[in-house]
Amino acid sequence: MAEADVYEKLRKKMSLWPIKVPRAREAMEMLRTLFTEEEAEFLTHFTAPYQDAETMDQIVERTGKPRKRVQEIVDRLVLRGLLFRFTGRRDGNVYYSLMPMIPGIFEFYFVSVRDSDEKRKVSELFEKYYVGGGGMEGGASNYPWARVMPVEKTITLDKEISAGHEILPFEKMSEYITTSGKIAVMNCACRIHKQCDHPLETCLVFDYFAEFMVERGHGRYLTVEEALELLETMEKAGLVHSTTNVQTRPQFVCNCCTCSCGILRGLYELHNPRAIAKSNFLPVRDDELCNTCRKCIRICPMEANVYHASHDDEPDRIFFLEERCIGCGLCAYNCPNDAIKLVKIKDEVPEKTPREAMMRVEAERVH
């Protein structure tokens, strides 16, 4: 198989995932940089990303390669964060699966590989790919693959505004944390790729993904209490909780900013309204309690709060631009006067499982 055909076939295999890899020049160059021709050809024997994972015996049979050579290739790819490995809960067997570009290779590669000429090259290529059109792939469906999780301590039910609503388990961050088998924290791949002043060790991964990172020395396990403390630290730092757009079994919880993180940059920088699903909540300000300290203006990642100077005898005010708000609750959490509360305004319910969510992402693609 010719080299060009190998990398194109691998791109198509990775694009069986709902968040696809467009055939951009930078994308093809990334694949050629990340994988040798032998590795690319090897990976084309796998099926769709994260699905139909196979044991070593199955991979040897499928590829027709000597077991020793297969093991060498697999170990090298796993070490570099380019092939996913996990141990089955039911049978204890070790399985391997192809990963998509996002979420998968981008996150695990940048966290796993030390700084090098190759890593810097991949970073430059990815940035050109992202701003040149590839970033729109993260919001190519009317069903966003990620959603905002509100700061739990700020959410409330207002009798007038939230009539008929209730706060559901998938809207509570503590529910995600306490129901996960294993929790680990790792560095943020987005801030490794595109540095900013926000904290680096911020991303929570769960269960198989937690094991994958900790086993390879790129994450550390947290207790439930430690994970909840980390989230509170992120809230004070002005970072937005985001996760997969599902009700149960999240693979990750990212703590995002608009300066580095691919998810929020899709909304803030690329102006794609489908980049992330907003929460079911909106902030409501009590103007009598507000002293216009402007903390909400500084903390809001979406610039949804603006200061308006007074006219004549009118008081200065903070105005709220609802169309920019994602319902994260950072303004309410960080308000020193408790002048803002997060109230429920709608009851949009995501798909129950990751598989169902990704099937819907694919079914509702618009480009």
Residue 328's domain spans which residues? 281-344
Beta strands in the chain (DSSP E): 84-87, 94-97, 146-149, 155-156, 183-187, 201-206, 220-221, 240-244, 252-256, 281-285, 305-308, 317-320, 340-344
Contacts of 140 (CB under 8 A, 6+ apart): 19, 20, 274, 365, 366, 367
Residue 139 belongs to some domain of the structure: no
Closest CA to 20 of 328, 362, 364: 362
The conformational region for residue 100 under phi > 0 = left, psi -120 to 50 = alpha, else beta, is beta
Reduce the DSSP state of residue 39 to 3 states and report it: helix
Strands 340-344 and 220-221, bridge-based pairing: unpaired
Q: Is residue 336 part of a domain?
A: yes
How many Å apart are CA 301 and CA 335, to the nearest integer?
A: 15
How many domains is the chain built from? 3
7 is a domain residue: yes
In a domain, 138, yes or no: no
Q: What digits encode the pLDDT tens for the residues 255-272?
A: 999 999 999 999 999 999
Same-domain check for residues 327 and 187: no
pLDDT tens by residue, the chain, 367 residues: 566 699 999 999 999 999 999 999 999 999 999 999 999 999 999 988 998 899 999 999 999 999 999 999 999 999 999 999 999 888 999 999 999 999 999 999 999 999 999 999 999 999 999 999 999 999 999 999 999 999 998 887 665 566 556 676 778 888 888 888 899 999 999 999 999 999 999 999 999 999 999 999 999 999 999 999 999 999 999 999 999 999 987 789 999 999 999 999 999 999 999 999 999 999 999 988 988 889 999 999 999 988 776 666 677 778 899 999 999 999 999 999 999 999 998 889 999 998 999 999 999 999 7
Report how far residue 219's alpha carbon sits from residue 209's, in angstroms, rounded to the nearest whole number.
Answer: 10
157: in domain:
no
CATH number for 12: 1.10.10.10
CATH, residue 291? 3.30.70.20
pLDDT at 299: 94
Phi/psi of residue 143, each to 5°?
A: -110, 100
Q: Is residue 141 included in any domain, yes or no?
A: no
Give yes or no: residues 77 and 23 share one domain. Answer: yes
Domain check: are 219 and 285 in the same one?
no
Confirm whether 287 is domain-assigned.
yes
Please indicate, yes or no, whether residues 230 and 358 belong to a single structural domain of this protein.
yes
Residues 291, 264, single domain; the answer is no
Residue at 32: amino acid letter: R
Read off the tokens for 70.
Answer: 């297969």
The answer to whether residues 42 and 63 touch, using CB atoms and an 8 Å cutoff, is: yes
355 shares its domain with 338: no
Residues 91 and 177 in one domain: no
C-alpha span between 241 and 253 (Å, rounded): 6
Mean pLDDT of the chain: 91
At 159, list the tokens: 């009798």
pTM, two decimals, is: 0.91
Give residue for tokens 């757009």: 245
Same domain? For 359 and 331 the reply is no
Taking 3-state DSSP, the helix, strand and coil percentages for the chain, each rounded to the nearest 5, stand at 40, 15, 40
For 160-210, the pLDDT digits (tens) are 566 556 676 778 888 888 888 899 999 999 999 999 999 999 999 999 999
Q: Is the domain of 356 the same as that of 236?
A: yes
CA-closest candidate to residue 135, choices 244, 10, 271, 302: 271
* 287 and 330 co-located in one domain: yes
> pLDDT value at position 51?
84
Whether 340 and 353 map to the same domain: the answer is no
| Residue 80 sits in the same domain as residue 113 | yes
Within the chain, what is the greatest distance between any pair of CA atoms? 83
Cα 346 to Cα 297: distance, rounded to the nearest angstrom: 25
Within-domain flag for 112: yes
Residue 319 confidence (pLDDT): 83
Is the bond leading into 103 cis (omega within 30 degrees of zero)?
Answer: yes
